[in-house]
Amino acid sequence: MQLVKTGPKRYEDYRELMDIETGLQLEYYAKRLSGKRIAMVNATSYGGGVAEILHSLVPLVRDLGLEIDWWVLEGSNEFFTVTKIIHNCLQGQGETLTPEARALYLRYNEQNAAAIKDWDYDFVVIHDPQPAALIRHRNDGGRAKWIWRCHIDTSTPDPECWDFIYQYIKDYDACIFTMSDFVKENESLPGLTIFTPSIDPLSPKNRALEKEKVEEIVSRFGVDVGRPLITQISRFDPWKDPLGVIDVYRIVKKDFPSVQLALVGSMATDDPEGWDYLYRTLRKAGEDYDIKVVTNVNGVSGLEVNAFQSASSVVIQKSIREGFGLTVSEALWKRVPVVGGNIGGIRHQIDDGINGYLVETVEECADRVLTLLRNATLAAEMGEAGREKVRQNFLITTNILN
């Protein structure tokens, strides 16, 4: 495994964004945990919501006076192809986890476990299924508390795949899920806790940008800032349904010809399938130059994502499965209404008709987007409601407290 270095963050900078009670509780628990050592373990240091959370959470916890490290797995494309199959199966996609795939998964977990034999942590937090089997290689005599944090939608998992992963997660001291809906009924899970992930309001992706800066950035990618823009920020995979977003855009464009679409994503190291789905998305976009498909490969980082969200009249998150969908809170924080799939963690963030809309179909999604494009006052009111929802529920300081 590799140790991830993070930039510094100051807890003091976040005080004005918190209510007084949250701040007092954070400082109280930080003192109680003084001297304890914490390890965070996940599959990648770049791409996807988990890495993004840890890039903020780790240095903030450190600034609160606790000792915390972040480790990522080392693995081949073959390993990450298998873990993506596991991910898909746990979200209900009908793939098969073969005996060979299971053996490869366990082999790479065992290889990575060599790094933990001399660990002296008090708490070890394992994120998602990729490193879940590390629990079998703990070497602390039971002194440390091991916690499994599941960020994905496991409401309808493939039974065989769930049974495979469950044999490891049942050995943890505690498990954290984003929603109670993601926990199988009557499933016995140790120390079960429910809480949502969060955004960092002061990160380059979420801090306020001047209008001129927003326009300068999106113009570099061919966006006409004088025309309305709808955007989806996501990985390129079937669960995020970028192909369906293009269908939505084409319906909207018939009634609102000036509209543009941006599909913005990052190609994560633990998602080999993403390249195939990116190419499928590009093929579907074809020669429509009002569709902008951009990734970290052609210069998109957190700042550019911020600009695309800030420049948008409406943000879409048309996921078919979604553990949480941090991009919803990111857009709402920027006062942009969101039209999202009526599933998973998106339901936690969007109050239908208040700060956006929850939709079931392409046609319904297009209708709601058109409603917002035609009514700027309504869109602005929803945007304000969205920012307050995020401030109260989905900022990184609340996540640290949990």
**What is the domain-level CATH number for residue 330?**
3.40.50.2000
- Residue 95 placed within a domain: yes
Q: Tell me the one-letter amino acid at 220.
A: R
Q: Which residues pair with 68 in a beta bridge?
A: 38
* DSSP at 122: S
Residues 216 and 172 in one domain: no
Is the per-residue pLDDT at 161 higher than 80? Answer: yes
Residues 188 and 217 in one domain: no
- How much is the average pLDDT of 340-354? 96
Q: How many domains does the chain have?
A: 2
Tally DSSP H helices, then E strands, for the chain.
Answer: 14, 13
User: So what's the pLDDT on residue 19?
Assistant: 83
User: So what's the pLDDT on residue 186?
Assistant: 64
Residues 150 and 58 in one domain: yes
pLDDT above 90 coverage of the chain, percent: 83
Is the per-residue pLDDT at 209 higher than 80? Answer: yes
Residues 233 and 344 in one domain: yes
User: So what's the pLDDT on residue 96?
Assistant: 87
Q: Domain boundary at 128, 161, 194, which?
A: 194
pLDDT for 98-123, tens place per residue?
Answer: 999 999 999 999 999 988 888 899 99
Q: The domain containing residue 355 runs over which residues?
A: 211-395
Residue bearing tokens 């695309």: 308
Q: Domain boundary at 147, 162, 194, which?
A: 194
| pTM value > 0.75 | yes
141, containing H or E segment: none
Residue of 79, 19, 127 whose CA lies nearest to 270? 79
d(CA 105, CA 80): 9
d(CA 197, CA 37): 22
Cβ atoms of 72 and 217 within 8 Å: the answer is no
Residue bearing tokens 């079937």: 238
* Straight-line distance from the first to the last Cα atom of the chain, in angstroms, rounded to the nearest whole number: 27
Angle between helices 99-113 and 77-90 (to 10 degrees): 120
* DSSP at 4: P
Residues 40 and 182 in one domain: yes
Is the per-residue pLDDT at 182 higher than 90? Answer: yes
Residues 224 and 171 in one domain: no
Question: CA-based angle 85:87:93, to the nearest 5?
Answer: 70
Q: Domain boundary at 194, 228, 254, which?
A: 194
- Residue 401 placed within a domain: no
pLDDT-derived band at 20, boundaries 50, 70, 90: confident
- Residue 204 placed within a domain: no
pLDDT-derived band at 304, boundaries 50, 70, 90: very high
Cβ atoms of 37 and 118 within 8 Å: the answer is no
User: So what's the pLDDT on residue 271?
Assistant: 72
DSSP string, 142-179: T-SEEEEEE-S--SS--HHHHHHHHHHHTTSSEEEES-
